[in-house]
Amino acid sequence: MTIRTIDTRFFLTHFTDDTEEIKNKTRKKMNDLKRESAILPTMVIHELYKIQCETLGREAAETRTNLILNSNFQITDFDSDIARVSGRIRCQNPKIPTVDGIIAATAILTKSYRVVTDDPHFDSVKEIKTEWI
């Protein structure tokens, strides 16, 4: 079984989408990701906290971040190897945002090679594949 890497967009959809169909899909995917101990880059925690704090306030950001941190995810810290690989990715794909480059590099270096996202920026990174809910 391939362990997947989670992008911020999955959590944003999980926490903020208001349609029952999407909520059911993200709930099921979240359970699957917890069961497999999916890869959670620290940059996703940063990005999710920032966006939730700006849109919903600090309390919501704290609650949602703690929920994720207390799950069964493999939290992967940003380090010099990820920095180097994400720099290469961004050099080859100048339009990919820094955080997405870091998430892609994390997937590559953890040998996950699959990112849970609907973000088209990841399509330009040949070493990984994406999946959605």
- Is 61 a residue whose pLDDT tops 70? yes
Q: In terms of Cα–Cα distance, which of 39, 62, 30, 38 is closest to 49?
A: 62
pTM over the 0.85 mark? yes
Domain regions of the chain by residue span: 5-131
Q: Per-residue pLDDT tens for 6-41?
A: 999 999 999 999 999 999 999 999 999 999 999 999
Q: Determine contact, residues 122/128, Cβ cutoff 8 Å.
A: yes
How confident is the model over 75-132, as pLDDT tens digits?
999 999 999 999 999 999 999 999 999 999 999 999 999 999 999 999 999 999 999 9
CATH architecture of 5-131: 3-Layer(aba) Sandwich (3.40)
Query: CB–CB of 74/38 below 8 Å?
Result: yes
- pLDDT number for residue 2: 80
